[in-house]
Amino acid sequence: MDVKDPKHGVVLRALNRLRRLGYKLITSNVLLEEPLRNPGKVLKVLGRHSVKVVSVDLKHYYIVTEKERSKLRLSESRFYDLMHVIVAKDLGVDIFLTADRKQRGIAVRKGLLVCHPVEVVEGRCP
Protein backbone atom coordinates (compact mmCIF):
# COMPACT_ATOMS: atom_id res chain seq x y z
CA MET A 1 0.00 0.00 0.00
CA ASP A 2 2.60 2.47 -1.12
CA VAL A 3 0.99 5.70 -2.32
CA LYS A 4 3.89 6.14 -4.76
CA ASP A 5 3.14 2.75 -6.34
CA PRO A 6 1.36 3.26 -9.69
CA LYS A 7 -1.03 0.44 -8.72
CA HIS A 8 -2.08 2.18 -5.49
CA GLY A 9 -5.23 3.77 -6.93
CA VAL A 10 -6.56 0.59 -8.49
CA VAL A 11 -5.87 -1.33 -5.26
CA LEU A 12 -7.93 1.20 -3.30
CA ARG A 13 -10.77 0.97 -5.85
CA ALA A 14 -10.65 -2.83 -5.56
CA LEU A 15 -10.81 -2.64 -1.76
CA ASN A 16 -13.79 -0.30 -1.97
CA ARG A 17 -15.61 -2.65 -4.35
CA LEU A 18 -14.93 -5.69 -2.17
CA ARG A 19 -16.21 -3.82 0.89
CA ARG A 20 -19.38 -2.82 -0.99
CA LEU A 21 -19.87 -6.49 -1.92
CA GLY A 22 -19.82 -7.32 1.78
CA TYR A 23 -16.33 -8.73 2.17
CA LYS A 24 -14.45 -8.02 5.38
CA LEU A 25 -11.06 -6.58 4.53
CA ILE A 26 -8.12 -7.83 6.54
CA THR A 27 -4.37 -7.88 6.42
CA SER A 28 -1.87 -8.94 9.02
CA ASN A 29 0.92 -7.22 10.86
CA VAL A 30 3.27 -8.95 8.38
CA LEU A 31 2.57 -6.00 6.06
CA LEU A 32 4.10 -3.67 8.64
CA GLU A 33 7.27 -5.76 8.87
CA GLU A 34 8.29 -5.54 5.24
CA PRO A 35 11.43 -3.55 4.53
CA LEU A 36 10.93 -0.06 3.11
CA ARG A 37 7.45 0.25 4.63
CA ASN A 38 6.45 3.16 6.81
CA PRO A 39 4.13 1.50 9.37
CA GLY A 40 2.47 4.79 10.33
CA LYS A 41 1.54 5.64 6.74
CA VAL A 42 0.42 2.08 6.03
CA LEU A 43 -1.87 2.02 9.08
CA LYS A 44 -3.34 5.39 8.13
CA VAL A 45 -4.23 4.19 4.62
CA LEU A 46 -5.59 0.87 5.92
CA GLY A 47 -7.73 2.68 8.48
CA ARG A 48 -9.17 5.03 5.87
CA HIS A 49 -10.30 2.02 3.85
CA SER A 50 -11.64 -0.07 6.77
CA VAL A 51 -8.96 -2.74 6.48
CA LYS A 52 -8.53 -4.55 9.78
CA VAL A 53 -4.97 -5.44 10.76
CA VAL A 54 -4.87 -8.85 12.43
CA SER A 55 -1.89 -9.39 14.71
CA VAL A 56 -0.22 -12.76 14.20
CA ASP A 57 2.74 -14.40 15.92
CA LEU A 58 5.55 -13.14 13.71
CA LYS A 59 8.19 -15.39 15.26
CA HIS A 60 6.09 -18.45 14.41
CA TYR A 61 5.46 -17.27 10.86
CA TYR A 62 9.12 -16.43 10.24
CA ILE A 63 10.00 -20.03 11.10
CA VAL A 64 7.15 -21.57 9.09
CA THR A 65 7.83 -19.33 6.10
CA GLU A 66 11.54 -20.08 6.00
CA LYS A 67 10.87 -23.83 6.06
CA GLU A 68 8.27 -23.52 3.31
CA ARG A 69 10.46 -21.18 1.24
CA SER A 70 13.23 -23.73 1.33
CA LYS A 71 10.85 -26.55 0.41
CA LEU A 72 9.39 -24.57 -2.51
CA ARG A 73 12.86 -23.39 -3.56
CA LEU A 74 11.82 -19.74 -3.61
CA SER A 75 14.39 -16.97 -3.55
CA GLU A 76 14.88 -14.90 -0.41
CA SER A 77 13.28 -11.96 -2.20
CA ARG A 78 9.97 -13.88 -2.14
CA PHE A 79 10.06 -14.42 1.65
CA TYR A 80 7.42 -11.79 2.53
CA ASP A 81 5.25 -12.75 -0.44
CA LEU A 82 5.17 -16.30 0.85
CA MET A 83 4.61 -15.17 4.44
CA HIS A 84 1.55 -13.14 3.37
CA VAL A 85 0.17 -16.22 1.57
CA ILE A 86 0.76 -18.56 4.52
CA VAL A 87 -0.86 -16.14 6.97
CA ALA A 88 -3.81 -15.54 4.63
CA LYS A 89 -4.35 -19.28 4.30
CA ASP A 90 -4.24 -19.72 8.08
CA LEU A 91 -6.68 -16.82 8.55
CA GLY A 92 -9.08 -18.50 6.10
CA VAL A 93 -9.44 -15.59 3.69
CA ASP A 94 -11.97 -15.88 0.87
CA ILE A 95 -9.93 -13.86 -1.63
CA PHE A 96 -6.24 -13.02 -1.80
CA LEU A 97 -5.74 -9.67 -3.53
CA THR A 98 -2.40 -9.04 -5.23
CA ALA A 99 -1.03 -7.28 -8.29
CA ASP A 100 2.25 -9.23 -8.03
CA ARG A 101 2.40 -11.96 -10.67
CA LYS A 102 4.91 -14.09 -8.75
CA GLN A 103 3.01 -13.76 -5.47
CA ARG A 104 -0.15 -14.75 -7.33
CA GLY A 105 1.57 -17.94 -8.47
CA ILE A 106 2.58 -18.76 -4.90
CA ALA A 107 -0.94 -18.13 -3.61
CA VAL A 108 -2.52 -20.28 -6.34
CA ARG A 109 -0.07 -23.10 -5.53
CA LYS A 110 -1.22 -22.84 -1.91
CA GLY A 111 -4.87 -23.16 -2.93
CA LEU A 112 -6.09 -19.58 -2.48
CA LEU A 113 -8.56 -17.80 -4.74
CA VAL A 114 -6.45 -14.94 -6.08
CA CYS A 115 -7.74 -11.76 -7.68
CA HIS A 116 -5.78 -8.98 -9.34
CA PRO A 117 -7.07 -5.53 -8.29
CA VAL A 118 -7.97 -4.71 -11.91
CA GLU A 119 -10.08 -7.89 -12.12
CA VAL A 120 -11.96 -6.79 -9.00
CA VAL A 121 -12.53 -3.25 -10.25
CA GLU A 122 -13.80 -4.58 -13.60
CA GLY A 123 -16.10 -7.11 -11.87
CA ARG A 124 -14.31 -10.17 -13.27
CA CYS A 125 -13.26 -11.45 -9.84
CA PRO A 126 -14.82 -12.51 -7.52
Which pLDDT value is given to residue 98?
A: 94
Segment 63-84, tens digit of pLDDT: 999 999 999 999 999 999 999 9
Which pLDDT value is given to residue 8?
A: 81
**Domain 8-121, CATH homologous superfamily name and number:** 5'-nuclease (3.40.50.1010)
How does the average pLDDT of the chain come out, rounded?
92
- Dihedral sign from CA coordinates of 20, 91, 28, 95: negative
Confidence tier at 2 by pLDDT (50, 70, 90) = low
Cα distance between residue 30 and residue 111, in whole Å: 20
Q: Are 87 and 56 in contact (CB under 8 A)?
A: yes
Confidence (pTM): 0.89
Which pLDDT value is given to residue 33?
A: 87
Segment 87-97, tens digit of pLDDT: 999 999 999 99
Whole-number percent of the chain with pLDDT over 90: 75
3-class DSSP state of 13: helix
Segment 18-45, tens digit of pLDDT: 999 999 999 999 988 887 778 888 888 8
Cα distance between residue 71 and residue 120, in whole Å: 32
Which pLDDT value is given to residue 1?
A: 52
